[in-house]
Amino acid sequence: MDRINPFNPDSPVDPNNFEGREDILEKNIKILMETKHNKPKHFFITGNRGMGKSSLASYFKDYAEKKLKYIGVHIYNDGVHDIESLIRQIIEELLNNIQKESFFNKIFNSFKNHVESVNLFGTSLKFKPSENLLDHIKDNFAGFLVNMVNEFDNKNGLIIIIDDINGLSDNPEFVNWYKSFADTLFTNYRGKSPICMILAGYPEKLEIMHENNPSFTRIFSHIKLKGLSDKEITDFFNKSFNKINMGIDPDAIDILVKYSSGLPNMMQEIGNGTFYMTNDDDLITYYIAFKGVLYAGDEIGKKYLQPLFDSSIRSMEYLGIFEKIAKDAISNLDEDYFFRKKDFSKNLTENEKKVFTNFLNRARKLKILDYHGPKKSGYYKFTNNLYPVYIDIQSLDETQNKNRL
Ligand SMILES: Nc1ncnc2c1ncn2[C@@H]1O[C@H](COP(=O)(O)OP(=O)(O)OP(=O)(O)O)[C@@H](O)[C@H]1O
Ligand SMILES: [Mg+2]
């Protein structure tokens, strides 16, 4: 049967398939709506890897574009370390997004000496500003945006997402610049700024920015993303499979939800794996779901871990330690899980205890674990919450499940 796969483990979710987070949406859409009355708003979305930051930002953008008739810009800032490149990226994306708008020429004309067009299956514009122009925009970014929005005749405002704010977070100049941009927008352009800014990044990046300028964090409405609830994940699987006219057995849903462990990216991987295990079936049985979970485990192993794992960490003792940490982590994944070396060693066998220090050093070198807080405190955390889930799936004992299959 020719069914379309409703799962997408490799990209932010399509806003139409966005699941759950109703409290967050309800509260923050109200804040977003205030920009309609020319009051600028700034959001900061934090959450661990794969928790759904880009998906949520993209949901807000879609909402603003469709319901408020805004122009939306979503850029990924990973690897960009200076403000000039950030501004260039924003303007380039904006020019590309408004190409079909009636007011395009008015805006384009002011940049035309700085734009190259590349014709490759449609036109894409490259913004190559002079240093002078860029410096000028950087010094007057608030005024620049407000003036631009004034040209949007049939659009009501602007929403800009600066995603993966990693590269810039270490740069104290950025936080100071952003703070002064936000203040200017608010004071000099009061009543004239239908502008919403959304920044998204890892929690530790926000901490660094806060340390660089404590006033910076005060600008924002903060959204801290945690794991999805079992109910939200159940709804997601039901809706996704219903869309392709498939039902799910109750014990199948249980295993899908259990191994998703609250993680949106794991939920998509498991849905995807389960979809691949179906043929002409109309029903997801326990057996299909079980194979789907193993498939997903294999995928994350290949995608995330294989390059990191080598034979040394797979020794019996290492694996035993890993399984124990993973089990401990699984029940705490939506909070930030960490453990203390001294306390954790009590759970280990004598042989495991002997290699525990080496294990931790090795896992840290491979970037599977990292220090939680200062080095000397002896606290550790997983760098990616998919790792403990992977280990958990690996230890799924097939023989134990044989009776059910
Ligand atoms: N609310 C949701 N409903 C359904 N799927 C979701 C939801 N949130 C996230 N996902 C899925 O989870 C995965 C990770 O989402 P996303 O890329 O938005 O996370 P992220 O926090 O931006 O990740 P990263 O830290 O890697 O940037 C994607 O496959 C996405 O489709
Ligand atoms: Mg992201």
Question: Looking at residues 36-50, what average pLDDT do you find?
Answer: 94
Position 15 confidence tier, pLDDT thresholds 50, 70, 90: very high
Mutate to test the pocket of ligand 1, among 265, 267, 389 (most ligand atoms within 8 A of CB): 265
How would residue 404 be classed by pLDDT, with cut points 50, 70 and 90? very low
Distance separating alpha carbons of residues 291 and 5, to the nearest angstrom: 17
Say which ligand is closest to the CA of 47.
1
Q: Are 45 and 53 in contact (CB under 8 A)?
A: yes
Q: What is the pLDDT of residues 253-266, one digit of tens each?
A: 999 999 898 899 99
Ligand 1 touching residue 383 (CB < 6 A)? no
Distance of CA 211 from the midpoint of ligand 1 (Å): 28
109-113, 150-154, 193-197, 332-336 — most confident range? 193-197
**What is the reported pLDDT for 375?**
78
Going from the Cα of 389 to the center of ligand 2, the distance in angstroms, rounded, reads: 20
d(CA 65, CA 94): 13
Instruction: Kindly state the average pLDDT of the residues 371-382.
Output: 86
**What are the structural domains of the chain?**
21-224 (3.40.50.300), 311-393 (1.10.10)
SS3 286: helix
Distance CA 260, CA 266 (A): 5
Q: Please tell me the distance between residue 73's alpha carbon and the centre of ligand 2 in angstroms.
A: 15
Closest C-alpha among 232, 250, 228 to residue 240 = 232
Report, as an integer, the average pLDDT of 131-142.
91
Please state the atom number of ligand 1 nearest to the C-alpha of residue 228.
Answer: 1
Residue 12 in contact with ligand 1 by CB distance below 6 A: yes
Is the model's pLDDT at 329 over the cut of 90?
A: no
pLDDT at 403: 46
| Tens digit of each residue's pLDDT (9 = 90 or more) over 282-304 | 999 999 999 999 999 989 888 87
The C-alpha atoms of residue 326 and residue 298 are separated, in whole angstroms, by 16
**Average confidence (pLDDT) over 41-52:** 94
pLDDT at 1: 60
Quote the percentage of the chain above a pLDDT of 90: 57
CA distances to 223, 339, 378 from 375, in Å: 28, 13, 6
Whose tokens are 């453990």? That residue is 339
Taking the centre of ligand 2 as the mean of its atom positions, its distance from the CA of residue 263, in whole angstroms, is: 14
Closest-lying ligand 1 atom to the alpha carbon of residue 19 = 3
Q: What is the CA radius of gyration of the chain?
A: 24
Determine the pLDDT at residue 343.
Answer: 92
Residue nearest to ligand 1 atom 13, measured at CA: 265
Q: What rounded mean pLDDT belongs to the chain? A: 88
Q: Residue 97 C-alpha to ligand 1 middle, in angstroms? A: 23
Closest Cα to residue 201, out of 308, 80, 301? 80
Per-residue exposure over 356-374, b if at least 16 CB sit within 10 Å of its own CB, e if not: beebbebbeebebbeebee
Predicted confidence at residue 311, as pLDDT, reads 59
Please give the pLDDT value at position 26.
96
Q: Distance between CA atoms of 224 and 233, rounded to whole angstroms?
A: 19
The two three-digit tokens of residue 311, written as one number: 């034979």
Q: Return the sign of the alpha-carbon dihedral for residues 322, 332, 201, 63.
A: positive
Mean pLDDT of 47-56: 93
pLDDT reported for residue 334: 61
Q: Is the CB of 201 under 6 A from ligand 1?
A: no
Residue-level pLDDT at 121: 64
Residues 205-214: what's their mean pLDDT? 91
Query: What is d(CA 402, CA 79) in angstroms, rounded to the nearest whole number?
Result: 48
Please answer whether residues 28 and 221 qualify as being in contact, where contact means their C-beta atoms are separated by less than 8 angstroms: yes
Identify the pLDDT of residue 399.
Answer: 43
- Of the candidates 46, 52, 58, which has an alpha carbon nearest to the alpha carbon of residue 16? 58
Residue 395 alpha carbon to ligand 2 centre in Å: 29
**How far is residue 35 CA from its own chain's centroid?**
24
Q: Residue-wise over 112-134: b if at least 16 C-beta within 10 A, else e?
A: eeeeeeeeeeeeebebebeeebb
CB distance 273 to ligand 1 below 6 Å: no
| pLDDT at residue 372 tops 70 | yes
Instruction: Lowest mean pLDDT of 34-43, 108-117, 361-370, name the range.
Output: 108-117
State which of 12-16, 309-313, 375-379 shows the largest mean pLDDT: 12-16
pLDDT tens, residue by residue, 95-120: 889 888 888 888 888 877 777 776 66
Q: Are 157 and 63 spatial neighbours (Cβ–Cβ below 8 Å)? A: no
Indicate whether 405 pLDDT > 60.
Answer: no
Give Cα 92 distance to the centre of its chain: 23
Using pLDDT thresholds of 50, 70 and 90, give the confidence band for residue 364: confident
- Of all ligands present, the nearest one to the C-alpha of 52 is 1
* Rounded percentage of the chain residues whose pLDDT exceeds 70: 93
Is pLDDT at 189 greater than 60 in this prediction? yes
- Residue 191's pLDDT is 86
Cβ–ligand 1 contact at 265 (below 6 Å): yes
Residue-level pLDDT at 25: 97
With a 6 A CB cut-off, is 55 part of the ligand 1 pocket?
Answer: yes
Q: Give the model's pLDDT for residue 146.
A: 95
Q: What SS3 class is residue 233?
A: helix
- For position 368, what pLDDT does the model report? 85
* pLDDT at 160 exceeding the cut of 80: yes
Q: What is the identity of the amino acid at 326?
A: A
Could you give the 3-state DSSP secondary structure of residue 201? strand
